Amino acid sequence: MSPFLTAQGVGVKLAGRLVLKDISLSLSSGHLVALVGPNGAGKTTLLRALAGLVPSDGAIDVGGAALLSLSLRERARRFAYLPQRHLMHWPLPARDIVALGRYPHGATDPSRLTPGDADAVLRAMQATDVVELCDRRVTELSGGERSRVALARVLAVEAPVILADEPTSSLDPRHQFDVMRSLRAAADSGVLVIVVTHDLGLAARFADTVLVLSDGRLAAQGAPAEALSEQILGEVFRISAYRSEYQREAVIVPWAGI
């Protein structure tokens, strides 16, 4: 399978500081990719650079087209972006928030969706189990409910690439699993899903590929067990971990600092 998203020598400078250096990737559709690394390694910046939200050096190609040649709207149809904080500034009904996922497709008014757009919204709400919440105001939802609504908004784009920045942070274990399962299901249906996470256990459990960022460089990439090797955990994260295997999935539990 040819890669859907490639990056060649990508570098990003923010406020005069080189945050990302010479990143080269090639990622295929239908994969769930976990992007891990210590705080300040440049994970969020890489995600934003891939989506074209920050200017970068180097070349990024998505679906055979150069990112820079795409208009904002064309980019928005290719990348569904879930930011770290689920900002929802107005007490809008959850339905309207999810419907914003159709914005890149020209459905700018949630009260006038085409049947196709309405179907996409409903599918996304069913996938994240938020149909019951559709009339509730998003500002009155619990943290777990909000994160599911935010995820539904991202799924509703029905983009070939989903970029999710720490979608499981501040969620209880059950909700973490729900979110990761939804993203896993999206990947299984052919979407390229890239997830930033600090949870190495979740990364090992759900990801096909793990990218390890360290100080703006790609320190390792590969299957979870290889990319999160003892050596990498020691060098990049400065931790040791309990490692095992359960139901043919890698189990990694961070254990102690070194």
Partner 1 sequence: MSIQSVMTTADIAARRRARVLAALGVLVALLVLLSLGIGPVRLSPLTVIDALFGGGSDVQQVIVREIRLPRTILGFAIGAILGLSGAALQGLLRNPLASPSLFGAPQSAAFGAVLVISLGLADVRSWALPVAAIAAAFASVFALLAVAGRNAGLLILILAGLAISSLAGAATALVMNLSSNPFVILEIAFWLLGSLEDRSFRHVVLALPFIVAGAVMLWSQRHAFRALSLGEETAQSLGVDVGRLRLSVITGVALGVGGGVAVSGSIGFIGLVAPHLMRPLIGHDPARLLIPSALTGSALLLAADIAVRVIPSTSDIKVGVLTSIIGVPFFLYLIMRERRALGGGVA
Out of 59, 88, 219, 239, the residue judged to bind partner 1 by CB under 8 A: 88
Any contact of residue 152 with partner 1 (CB under 8 A)?
Answer: no
Out of 18, 92, 185, 219, the residue judged to bind partner 1 by CB under 8 A: 92
Residue 96: what residue type?
D
Q: How many residues does the chain have?
A: 258
Please give the structure tokens belonging to residue 30: 């239908």
Name the segment binding partner 1 (CB under 8 A); options: 59-67, 114-122, 210-218, 241-249. 114-122
Out of 8, 24, 26, 108, the residue judged to bind partner 1 by CB under 8 A: 108
Tell me how far, at minimum, the Cβ of 89 lies from partner 1, in Å: 4
Handedness of CA 118, 123, 129, 132 (dihedral sign): positive
Site string for partner 1, 171-210 (x = CB under 8 A): ----------------------------------------
Handedness of CA 51, 54, 55, 56 (dihedral sign): negative
Residue 109: CB atoms within 10 Å: 11
Any contact of residue 239 with partner 1 (CB under 8 A)?
Answer: no
Cβ contacts of residue 241 below 8 Å, gap of 6+?
A: 200, 228, 230, 233, 252, 253, 254, 255
Chain center to CA of 184: 11
In terms of DSSP H, where are the helices of the chain?
Answer: 43-50, 72-78, 94-99, 115-127, 143-156, 173-188, 200-206, 224-227, 230-232
CA distance 217 to 240: 21
Out of 19, 43, 79, 192, the residue judged to bind partner 1 by CB under 8 A: 79
Name the segment binding partner 1 (CB under 8 A); options: 5-13, 15-23, 104-112, 198-206. 104-112
Out of 24, 26, 116, 132, the residue judged to bind partner 1 by CB under 8 A: 132
Tell me how far, at minimum, the Cβ of 15 lies from partner 1, in Å: 13
176, 202 contact by CB (below 8 A): yes
Any contact of residue 15 with partner 1 (CB under 8 A)?
Answer: no
Q: For partner 1, give the closer residue by CB, 107 or 232.
A: 107
For 250, the enclosing helix (H) or strand (E) is strand 249-257
**DSSP bridge partners of 119:** none
Any contact of residue 169 with partner 1 (CB under 8 A)?
Answer: no
CA distance 78 to 29: 12
Any contact of residue 75 with partner 1 (CB under 8 A)?
Answer: yes
Out of 85, 114, 188, 238, the residue judged to bind partner 1 by CB under 8 A: 85
Any contact of residue 53 with partner 1 (CB under 8 A)?
Answer: yes
Contact footprint for partner 1 (CB under 8 A):
48, 51, 53, 71-73, 75-77, 79-81, 83, 85, 87-92, 95-97, 100-101, 103-104, 108-111, 118-119, 122, 125, 131-132, 134-135, 153
